[in-house]
Amino acid sequence: MSLSAPLVLGIESSCDETGVGIVRGTELLVNAVASSMEEHVRFGGVIPEIASRAHLDAFVPTLESALKDAGVTLAEIDAIAVTSGPGLSGALMVGVSAAKALALATGKPLYAINHLVAHVGVGILEGGELPENLAALLVSGGHTEILQVNSLTSDVRLIGATIDDAAGEAYDKVARLLGLGYPGGPVIDRIAKEGDPKAIRFPRGLTLPKFIGTKENPGKHRHDFSFSGLKTAVARCVEQYQKRGEEVPVADIAASFQEAVVDVITSKAVRACQEHGLTNLLLGGGVAANSRLRELLAARCASAGITLRVPPRNLCTDNGAMVAALGAQLVADKVLPTGLKFSTDSGQPVSLISLAV
C-alpha cells in the first residue's frame, strides 16, 4: 500500500457501539470500539436514550485511543467519515456532531455515509478488493437486508429487507421469552447445539407461495423477511408447556427457532443472488457470528456456485473501521465530500451511499 493512499478517520454511533477506526486506503490501522451493551442488559434490548448518553461519554476516549494506537495525529488525517444513517436518531447525532466539530476544527473534508454500505465496504480491509457481481447479506440487531452492490461508491440497491423485526432482534426477544438473558444471539447459538432443530416446526416468515410468487411474476415480498410471526409462535409454544405444567424444552425450542431463522435467511439470500446474477456474497452484522448461519449459508452457497466472504467477527459488528474503509473508497473514487451542512437520516436509503454536498 502506497503512503499516498488516503488516511481516513471513521466514526460510528448508529446503535450501541461507539466506533472510531482509522484506515490508510485498504489497510486497517486501528479499530477502537466502546460498547454500551452492558447498560442495556436489564432492559433486554437497546434503549436509545441510554445509547446516546453512552456515546457522549465514550467518544473522546475512543478517539484518543484510536489516534494513539494508530500513531497518527488529527493533522495527518486526509478525510473524516461518519455514519449519518440509518440508525437511532439521537445516537447518530452524537457521532455526527463530533465529526462536524472535528472537521470544522481541522479543516478536513467530511463524508456523511451510509451505515449499511459501510458494512459492505469493510470487506476491503480483509480479503482485498471487492469482487464484481456482489451481493451483501446484513443481519444484526438493527437490520436484515440483502443488497446488490454494483459499485461500492456509486451504485448499491436494496433487494430485500425485514418488514418487521431484525433477525438479531428476534434472537434477543426469543431469548427473553426463554429466560436466557441479553444479548440473545450468542446464548441461543450455544444452547441450540444441545437441542433438536426438528423438534418443533416453527413458521418460516414470508415463504408462502403468495409472498414468493414466481420468478416471472414475483410476489411483493419475494426477497423480504419477517420474524415477528416466528417470535409470536415461540411465545405461544412456551405458554402451552407452562399451561400444562410441563417443563419448557428450552434447548429444543432454541434449536428449532434458530433453524427457522437461518433456513429463511439463507434460502432467500441464495435465491436473490441467483435471480440477480450475483455470484459473490458478503455476510455482515452481529448475527454473522452465528455458527448455524455460517454453516448453512456456506453449504447453500457452495451448492449454488456462490462464493461466500465473511469478514472477521470484530469487523462484522458495528465499528468505525467500516466507516473509514468506505470513506477511503469514496476519497479514492473522487466522490465529493458532504461538507458540514447535513443532518442525520435515521432512515437513510442504501442508494444514498454518501450524502451529496
Decide if 221 contacts 144 (C-beta within 8 A). Answer: no
In angstroms, give the least distance from the CB of 33 to Zn ion: 12
Minimum distance from CB of 240 to ligand KG4 (Å)? 25
Residues 299-328 that bind Zn ion (CB under 5 A): 318
Cα–Cα dist 353/70, whole Å:
26
Using CA atoms, how far apart are residues 85 and 101, in angstroms rounded to an integer?
A: 18
Q: Are strands 134-139 and 27-35 parallel, antiparallel or unpaired?
A: unpaired
Asked if 125 contacts 26 with a C-beta cutoff of 8 angstroms, the reply is yes
Site for ligand KG4 in 27-86 (CB under 6 A): none
Q: Which does 165 bind (CB under 5 to 8 A by kind): ligand KG4, Zn ion, none?
A: none
The reply on whether position 172 binds ligand KG4 by CB under 6 A is yes
Quick one: what does residue 252 bind among Zn ion, ligand KG4, none, with the CB cut-off 5 to 8 Å set by partner type?
none
Site string for ligand KG4, 259-298 (x = CB under 6 A): --------------------------xxx-xx--------
Q: Does 140 bind ligand KG4 (CB under 6 A)?
A: yes
13 binds ligand KG4 (CB under 6 A): no
Nearer to ligand KG4, 13 or 140 (CB): 140
Least distance between Zn ion and beta carbon 350 (Å): 12
Nearest-approach distance from CB 231 to Zn ion, in angstroms: 21
Instruction: Give the one residue of 12, 165, 189, 224 binding ligand KG4; rule: CB under 6 A.
Output: 189
- Listed in sequence order, the residues at least 6 apart from 191 whose beta carbon sits closer than 8 Å to its beta carbon are 180, 250, 251, 254, 255
What residues form DSSP beta bridges with 309? 282
**Half-sphere exposure in the Cβ direction for 321 (13 Å, CA):** 25
Strand partners, 148: 135, 157
Are 153 and 124 in contact, with CB atoms under 8 Å apart? Answer: no
- By CB under 6 A, residue 317 contacts ligand KG4: yes
**Using CB atoms within 10 A of its CB, is residue 319 exposed (0-12), middle (13-18) or buried (19+)?**
buried
Contacts of 36 (CB under 8 A, 6+ apart): 16, 17, 18, 50, 51, 54, 55, 58
Nearest position to Zn ion, beta carbon: 318
Distinct helix (H) and strand (E) counts, the chain: 12, 10
CB of 239 to Zn ion, least distance (A): 33
Which residue's CB is nearer to ligand KG4, number 160 or number 183?
183
The answer to the question of residue 169 lying near Zn ion (CB under 5 A) is no
Q: Is residue 141 a contact residue for ligand KG4 (CB under 6 A)?
A: yes
Smallest gap from residue 29 Cβ to ligand KG4 (A): 22
Nearest approach in angstroms of CB 253 to ligand KG4 is: 15
Residue 252 as a binder of ligand KG4 (CB under 6 A): the answer is no
* 318 counts as binding ligand KG4 under rule CB under 6 A: yes
Among the listed residues 162, 138, 109, 55, the one whose alpha carbon sits nearest the alpha carbon of residue 315: 138
Which three cell numbers, joined as nine digits, stand for 115?
451505515
* DSSP 8-state code for residue 131: P
Q: Which of the listed partners (ligand KG4, Zn ion, none) does 94 bind, with a CB threshold of 5 to 8 Å by partner kind? A: none
Residues that bind Zn ion in the complex, under the rule CB under 5 A: 140, 318
Residues that bind ligand KG4 in the complex, under the rule CB under 6 A: 15, 140-142, 168-169, 171-172, 183-186, 189, 285-287, 289-290, 317-318
